Chains A and B, each alone.
Chain A
């Protein structure tokens, strides 16, 4: 990397200070990135020249270089932005001038139309909306909360999930889309949120339903049970004589409503017998006369 600075400037090692300055100025006028806005390599070339001149244009540094105390690599210039990096970026820029091509826009020919149209279109255009998709758990869709999503470009986006969000709802983050041009503001980020199904809960409007297993004893005798809700477990009493299909309502434990309040959680009971046959239960049922008379397929309970 340590190219000889004398070679870079194209001068001999015995050149006078005036010769060195002259050589540098000649190269700088040709290579300065702001005088070559379309040449991507100009920056690299100019950096080398500027580095060489930084060393040789200073009598003290030049002496130390000639004595071998420092080498050419110490002369590297820090990275900085040139004007050209900004001049093209913003259409509302006060410096930009159309004087170099205005005559081409005067006519009625297709090229003039194209020029005029593209100038109008881009002058103060709002940035594009950017679309994203992501999925959240059912419980999070009910309780709401903050999520950080990773973007394809490596950035992140903080998203506030409103409580009671429904599957497929689109959240709009103002100003988080693509930047605009000129006075046009940035676009929005539109986030399509998918709610992942839950193995316990299903949602119906503002209400959520849950199939809840109870034992035969709890069904016949009633009792207090712990029932899951999206916001945690609650205690619920199962009334005496409950049946499979009996639906109990937990008020306000459903999804939050848009205008305030919440839906309910509907707990649908399901009687579950013990897995292994129980001799005591069999003996009881064999001797249970009324139980044998009851036919659930004939009207009555269903």
Chain B
């Protein structure tokens, strides 16, 4: 599901100012179209993860920056691992 900025704020429970700061730090990278920003459900889940880190675990902004950087690398690796798995098991075309 694709949502606009307003819908994203409602779905994620993120406040406007918080979103501004996250966008500035590129913790969230919505797609930008002529009609404005569009967010996905993946962005909402990512926002919830950031909220869990901040409010739930007491990680500060500097820490979140590091965590996201490492988690994004981890997912990059997982993806390559999945592709290799497909190659080896003969699933890829």
Residues of A within 8 A of B (CB): 24-25, 28-29, 32, 34-35, 37-38, 50, 80-91, 93-101, 114-115, 117-119, 121-122, 125, 128
Using A37-B75, A95-B72 as known contacts, say yes or no to A122 and B56 having CB atoms under 8 A apart.
no
Minimum CB–CB distance for A42 against chain B, Å: 13
Smallest distance from the beta carbon of B69 to chain A beta carbons, Å? 7
Interface of B is mostly: helix
Q: How far is the CB of A55 from chain B (nearest CB, A)?
A: 15
Return the chain A residue nearest B85 by Cβ. Answer: A118
**Interface pair B49/A82, CB less than 8 Å apart:** yes
| Residues of chain A lying within 8 A (CB to CB) of residue B77 | 100-101
Q: How many residues in B have their beta carbons less than 8 Å from beta carbons of A? A: 33
By beta carbon, the residue of chain B nearest A98 is B76
Give the residues in chain A near B46, CB-CB below 8 Å: 83, 86-87, 95
A97 touching B76 in the complex, CB below 8 Å, given contacts A28-B57, A81-B45: yes
Contact of A38 among B40, B52, B78, B80 (CB under 8 A): B78
Least CB separation from A34: chain B residue: B49
A93 closest partner in B (C-beta): B42
A101 to chain B: which residues have CB within 8 Å? 76-77, 80
Residues of B within 8 A of A122 (CB): 83, 86, 92
Is B52 a contact partner of A90 (Cβ separation < 8 A)? no
A88 touches B75 (CB 8 A): yes
Nearest 3 interchain pairs by C-beta: A86-B42, A100-B73, A118-B83
Cross-chain pairs A/B with CB under 8 angstroms, 29 sampled: A29-B57, A35-B67, A80-B45, A80-B48, A81-B41, A82-B48, A83-B45, A83-B48, A83-B49, A84-B75, A86-B41, A87-B46, A87-B71, A88-B75, A88-B82, A90-B42, A91-B79, A93-B42, A93-B75, A96-B75, A98-B73, A98-B80, A100-B73, A100-B77, A101-B76, A101-B77, A117-B87, A118-B84, A118-B92
